[in-house]
Chains A and B, each alone.
With several copies, the nearest count.
Chain A
């Protein structure tokens, strides 16, 4: 049996209905544990004081914001190449989650910036490119909303997602060229090969990251189901109109 079978909406609904209880439970558990641990039982950093506690929100949200866009890119490609509806609808479902994550990263970053850098906002490359990512999400969602025909909307938003990704990467380099920043480098091990935070901060952070990832998955599955049902309502209505 191939993975593509789940591109059938009914199959997909069945699978996601079976998966979702576990996903929601795991996501709730990890997010709660990660955040509670981080908030209540970690020491303050000697330099940053209690503001390190923001990291348990900031980093997972930032990570998921980027991953959500990446997921949309992949599902858009699948839609354009193989025209599986679930794929397009999953991209549509992920966008609002992604934009919320972006917003959380921006807001927590801004709040963090005030004590650390003495300013809410600086035109640092990483911050700036996040802002641009936010704009891309906005445009993507607005385009989905503006087009009536669902297939055309899926096509157009997919192309926008592809072109937007290229330009988002371009912007990232342009912004780097334009201004050197204040922001920390990454400390996620896969990115640097070793990590720079102490274990006391790292474990709750890791749990929180996993939790945000699971929460993202659960939300996207649920929202995709919603989109499928809306599409089905629409199709049924169109049929009944055609029969009349």
Chain B
């Protein structure tokens, strides 16, 4: 089932930042979100992941199908790589973590505490988490922060494999990921002051 966004408006801190956003992500495809800093990419992705409600518009196909990865990785410094990954696998009702470890070349680090990893290694572990969720739609917010070129290639390959298996991906990023995917620029959808309807303080205007 496709992910379908129709006329969505989102707000941050009570102020609308985007309005009228519509797009569709079909199975087997990825969509890259672009826009300058502060445009509202993070806000949009959190809305799609169900962490906050949209001001208006419809989001279809996002029920229990989304694996979200934001700026923070949700790793525990005092648990080892395997323990972290196993935990998330169990939360999502999966059990196999070997494929994820292999895809991001984490095997040599499997017994290290996550707190002793470098930033890039941590990020790799955070991305490996996506592969143990078994969810079809990956919603990723700047996934390649602090990754080096080799790790970016690992990531691109993991996404390609996920798409080939019928999955979907929605990725906000500033850099080129080397993925074969459409791009969607959110700059034109910035909420204009006069359009700002539906904000929580609308009643006071």
Contact = CB atoms under 8 A, between A and B. Distances in A.
Contact of B204 (A9, A149, A242, A243): A9
B183 interface: no
Contacts, number: 40
A8 interface: yes
B176 interface: no
B203 interface: yes
B201 interface: yes
Given A149-B14, A150-B14, A235 B201 contact: yes
B205 A238 contact: no
A153 to B, nearest CB: 11
B13 A149 contact: yes
A238 B203 contact: no
A235 B204 contact: yes
A123 B142 CA distance: 59
A234 interface: yes
A238 B204 CA distance: 12
A151 B200 CA distance: 8
Contacts of B15: 238-239, 241-242
Interface in A214-244: 228, 231-232, 234-236, 238-239, 241-243
Contact of A151 (B14, B115, B116, B193): B14
Interface in A1-17: 8-9
A243 B193 contact: yes
A85 interface: yes
Interface of A: 8-9, 85, 148-151, 228, 231-232, 234-236, 238-239, 241-243
